[in-house]
Amino acid sequence: MTTPNARDGAPVHVPSVKQLAATTAVAIGIATIVLVTTVLPAEFGLDPLGTGRKLGLLDLYEASSGNTPTPPAAATIAARPRTYKVDSSELKLGQGQKFEYKYRLEKGASMVYAWTATGRVKYEFHGEPDDHSLKVESYELQEGDYASGALIAGFTGIHGWYWENLEERDLTITVTSAGFFSSAEELRPKWDPVRHKTRVESIPHELSTPGR
């Protein structure tokens, strides 16, 4: 579909709904594959598909976690839970709307994530500590339509994104995350009628731990 250019009258291609949906599906599929096949084995030693062992990524994880010197008695290490969680959620962001989506993490807990939007958004990835004597920490502040990465929580609290719709149309944001968060929550203004029930699946850590 095309529409006239506001400046010179030249036609401008506007993606159809089907094209946008297909592009989003491909992006989410790629992000999910990267999360499961590379990031989880290299960062957390979790290898549900066996690709980490074949690609040598588990060796990287074992080298970084198993051959490090024993910390002094005064040091503390955050123990990982017996399960890690996987969250794949589709969120609606109307024209002119803004909201936040946060995961609850204990200090030292980690997660990997990827999200895509069907248009340009202003976003901030940040963490809010339960300890009010600590400051809110901003990890990333940008504009765009996707982001991915990994996080190790520096404090116990909620960690996630603020999104603001910069388009003159409704958008869909699809988030895929895996890690040792306990819950996820969609935070919207009270006047916003849109609500979302988060679907978070727990996966036993033993099923994907090397050597078991």
The 3 state secondary structure assigned to 99-130 is EEEEEEECCCCEEEEEEEEEEEEEEEEEEEEC
4-8, 93-97, 127-131 — most confident range: 127-131
pLDDT in tens, 187-197: 887 655 444 54
Question: Would the pLDDT of 8 be above 60?
Answer: no
- Average pLDDT across the chain, whole number: 74
The predicted pLDDT at position 45 comes to 66
The predicted pLDDT at position 53 comes to 63
CATH for the stretch 83-208: 2.60.120.680
Among 160-164, 190-194, 206-210, whose mean pLDDT is lowest?
206-210
